Amino acid sequence: MWALVMIALQTGTVAGPVLPLPRKAPTSRRCPPDDSGGDVVVCGRSSDADRIGTIPDYSKPMTLPKARTEIAGVGTLSAETEQADVGGSPSKRAMIRLTIPLGGRRKP
């Protein structure tokens, strides 16, 4: 009996006011009429505002700028990383280098 009531509720019409048709936005661009009957003609705006821009190439290795600063009257101070093989295993190290020029004229 419950199955019959459920089927009757699904097949019945819904009572209520008739909704008005939505208004289409007026456009100044008109599509050319297609008389062939077999082709689909799509007309729309050709704005690039909704498109994704160029995608960066992630296959190239990314490099960071060198961590280097000038010390007035002394030289340069830099931070670097290196990797070398020590006894068949990789050794990773971070180094801070102070470069002091010897001889010659000093930079102002």
Q: What is the value of pTM for the model shown?
A: 0.35
| Parts of the chain with a pLDDT under 50 | none
Summarised one tens digit per residue, pLDDT across range 85-105 is 888 898 999 999 999 988 766
∠ CA(91), CA(97), CA(101), 5° rounding?
140
Closest by CA to 102, choosing from 78, 74, 79, 72, is: 74
How far is it, in rounded angstroms, from Cα 100 to Cα 76? Answer: 7
Ordered DSSP codes for 80-91: EEEEEEETTEEE
